[in-house]
């Protein structure tokens, strides 16, 4: 049976739910993990509060949902290479990943999901926004859906919108892949392998053009899609506290860390989970 007292509470109509009544330091039953996974699939991003986890406990929890993979550009924690530190220091002006995106879509098999654990947060600011890409797709006209269905998006790791947000961390924690260029092609509309629902699968950080189209030809339609897919009615906003955890579905969500806390330090630990090739 699920943990006694576990509850799932929506935080917005479009996306997001907070789960309470569970201590993630404990070894969870299979039923509880299944209940959490159902909530994740239903709400696209789920949140936990006040989880005082060590790195080993955090990794053990993530492994109940899939296989963690290393981030190619930044070295992970000592002893835990699949846990990536996501840091903005007091003197820095650019935050890591500070643009609407789905994680690493420039990989052939982008991650299915991402865990993020707050270690240090600013006194105010540093929230993260999430956008439901099922709803973004479903709100399109039938004519535009027909136009998008056969299209393939080209994602690159060097598109300036995304690459500039990781330069500080590459400078102090590089890997052997830090200067490599990754490019992948994925359907603009993907079908979720678990829910069967269709979702928009482009993002302003990594999608450079449509396959077979020039960058210039692609730009007007991509601009429209990027504006459409993050409309307020598709989103939720999460305020972090130390010990907060988010788990979002990269197959159906975009996220955006708000960069509104200059002069303060923010430290998060991220784990991404191996995914499959989008279809």
By annotation, the residues acting in catalysis are: 101, 103, 255, 270
Q: How far is CA 91 from CA 33, 135, 168, 246, 265, in A?
A: 40, 38, 11, 26, 9
DSSP string across 130-158: EEEHHHHHHTS-HHHHHHHTT-EEEEETT
Q: Tokens 């709803």, residue?
A: 135
CA dihedral 86, 134, 211, 273 (to 10 degrees): 40
Burial class (CB in 10 A: 0-12, 13-18, 19+), 58: buried
Q: Running DSSP on this structure, what letter comes out for residue 101?
A: B
- Which three-class secondary structure state does DSSP give residue 167? helix
């Amino acid at each position: 049976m699920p943990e006694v007292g576990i509850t799932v509470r929506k935080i917005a109509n479009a996306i997001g739910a907070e789960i309470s009544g569970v201590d993630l330091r404990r070894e969870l039953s299979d039923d509880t993990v299944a209940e959490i996974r159902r909530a994740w699939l239903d709400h696209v991003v789920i949140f936990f509060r006040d989880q005082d986890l060590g790195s080993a406990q955090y990794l053990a929890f993530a492994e109940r949902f899939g296989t963690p993979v290393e981030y190619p550009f930044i070295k992970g924690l000592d002893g835990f290479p699949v846990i990536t530190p996501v840091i903005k220091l007091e003197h820095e002006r650019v935050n890591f990943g500070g643009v609407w995106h789905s994680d690493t879509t420039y990989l052939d098999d982008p991650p299915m999901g991402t865990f993020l654990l707050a270690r240090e947060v600013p006194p105010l600011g540093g929230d993260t926004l999430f956008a439901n890409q099922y709803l973004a797709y479903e709100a399109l006209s039938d004519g535009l859906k027909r136009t998008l269905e056969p299209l393939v998006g080209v994602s690159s790791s060097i598109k300036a919108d995304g690459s500039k947000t990781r330069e500080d961390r590459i400078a102090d924690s590089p890997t052997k892949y830090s200067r490599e260029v990754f490019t992948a092609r994925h359907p603009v509309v993907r079908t979720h392998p678990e829910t069967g629902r269709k979702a928009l699968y482009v993002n302003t950080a990594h999608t450079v053009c449509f396959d077979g189209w020039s960058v210039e030809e692609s730009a007007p339609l991509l601009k429209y899609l990027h504006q459409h897919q993050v409309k307020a009615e598709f989103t939720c906003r999460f305020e972090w506290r130390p010990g907060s955890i988010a788990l979002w579905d990269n197959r159906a969500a975009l996220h955006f860390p708000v960069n509104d806390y200059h002069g303060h330090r923010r430290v998060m630990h991220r784990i991404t989970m191996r995914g499959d090739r989008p279809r």
